[in-house]
Structure 1
Amino acid sequence: MGSSNVHVVDHPLVQHKLSLMREKDRSTKSFREILNEIGMLLCYEVTRDLPLELVEIETPISAMQAPKIAGKKLTLAPILRAGVGFLDGMLALMPSARIAHIGLYRDPATLQAVEYYFKAPQDLSDRTVILMDPMLATGNSACAGASLLKARGARDIRFVCLLAAPEGIAQFQAEHPDVPIWTASVDERLNDHGYIVPGLGDAGDRMFGTK
């Protein structure tokens, strides 16, 4: 993509693991495990520019000024259900992060996002919030999730997905031009049912074995 607000993570480990997940015969167990691993790798990329501050610490040898992440702890915001697949991998790197849960499902007739649950920390205005959903297809769920977080006061939101379609990117950037996107791949297009092509199918069904 030409937009500077879309970051395609082309690390060889990410690309290799994504190819494994695309395989139609990949088991539910393996799909879930790899999604967790990619979540950790994407977390490393999306947090690359977090601000640091110097604090006084004691090493076994001497005192020193050492860098630590500045500000309040991050908030991870998975869109249920598939976004949960990223959570454990990201928490492995940021175990003190706060968690927001965003319950949305896609109406099969209209493809619009329907909210059924939302629970988030109160003080999102002072936190970096990482919004997560494996698929940025139509963009409707991601847009709805970002809007809910902004309504709660979030000002620094970053969206992480596994796959994105050009249509979803365009929709998301039209509604939330201030929210950067990190993805492992921008695929060709959407089909008539709103699925990413070539994609990997329904990430939630494949992760939970409900296909």
Structure 2
Amino acid sequence: MRLLATLLILLAIAPTARAARPMVTDDARLTDGGACQLESWLHLHGSQHELWALPACNPGGNLELTMGGALAYNDSHQETGAAVIQLKSLFKPLETNGYGIGLSVGYAAQPGSSHDANPYFYVPVSFSLADDRVVIHTNLGVTRERENRENRMTWGLGSEIQMSERTYLIAESYGQDKGNPYFQLGIRHWIVPNRIQIDTTYGSRVDAISEQHWFSIGLRLISPTLF
């Protein structure tokens, strides 16, 4: 409890940082140089429940390393896991009323998959409008599906709209070059501005809203400079 209290105090007095949870579409931003963040959320999808934790650190200033995963279980009490390893860097940082561009590469295994993780890369591009009150994110990339031995193009289009000083509305759609896309709507709120954030989302697949819908609730903690 003392360690948790100390962490919360440090988070409250630390300098500003930004990140993209709860969006699936990534942004052209990094955790502050020398700092770390922890994104965690509960994802409820029909009979399956997933608990995710993705710690990320940016020790050198322009290279963010994310390593984490999930524990999933269903109504039959069958447990599975997932893992993600990702590196992200920026060619141009996002500026107010400007744009940013970066590159992310990694491996990811989904809950319930009996196969090795799939390698992927994508290019996140973000655009700031109206003094950061509206930010648009686009992703374009490729993932290698080892099970099918196919390369699939991936894409994402998302937006952040500032509703108040601490509250943002997010809306996005994303998918692959085959199959119908997914959509997600949500709200993020800073309990401590730029330090402690909570969020919630609702999403589904466009052609199967009632069958494939999900709900998530998340928490993000952002550290002071550690390196």
TM-score by length of 1: 0.32
Higher normalized helix content (fraction of residues): 1
TM-score by length of 2: 0.30
